[in-house]
A and B are shown apart, each in its own frame.
Chain A
Amino acid sequence: DAKTTQPPSMDCAEGRAANLPCNHSTISGNEYVYWYRQIHSQGPQYIIHGLKNNETNEMASLIITEDRKSSTLILPHATLRDTAVYYCIKLNDYKLSFGAGTTVTVRA
């Protein structure tokens, strides 16, 4: 079962939107896309998840393409506290298979 594909790193300016891409071309019809982040020395923190519709919560927005083969996590106004490793995960039943993620560095 192939994991998702994310860029290894990206920088973002404080106060600007951060757009994090994820490729999940092998996703099956009933698999959700989950996003977590892990700030240094902390446990993974849930951000958002979706199946096929776009989703928004107080932390972020999730845009899923119509064919569901890719998605983008949007942090609307990045702050220094958003510096973390961001994981895009296909939830296969109960298993969260974490890949390497994208290391996001927010710069002042």
Chain B
Amino acid sequence: DAGVIQSPRHEVTEMGQEVTLRCKLISGHNSLFWYRQTMMRGLELLIYFNNNVPIDDSGMPEDRFSAKMPNASFSTLKIQPSEPRDSAVYFCASSQGSGGFTDTQYFGPGTRLTVL
């Protein structure tokens, strides 16, 4: 079974450029989570979708960040314009269900973003 798929695995860009990270959910899953991991702040939840609808975006840092689910199996996280402090590893995770207490989240391999 394919797990959560993320692309690209590594991205190096210059400050001010637009960055798009991509995520494919596990087949049959209907909840999608974007996380960011840095040494300083650890793993943080950025946004949570259920059935393509954003439920909680309180973790999105600022308006430069946006996330979409154009269909039930795919999501994008866009940063425009990017800044050096956005450098981090970005993970997406998916789960089956409504994101409740017993819905196990399965993580992708992550995208390591470096903004110069």
Contacts and interface: CB of A to CB of B under 8 A. Distances in A.
Q: Do A and B bind each other?
A: yes
Interface of A: 30-32, 34, 42-46, 49, 91, 93-100
A43 B100 contact: no
B105 A31 contact: no
A-B pairs, top 6 by smallest CB distance, nearest first, are A94-B99, A43-B107, A98-B43, A44-B107, A43-B109, A43-B110
A42 B101 contact: no
B100 A44 contact: no
Contacts of A100: 42
Contacts of A93: 99-101
Contacts, number: 47
- Counting contact residues on chain B (CB < 8 A from A), the size range is 20 to 34
Contact of B45 (A32, A34, A45, A96): A96
A96 B42 contact: no
Given A30-B101, A100-B42, A94 B48 contact: yes
A96 B13 CA distance: 29
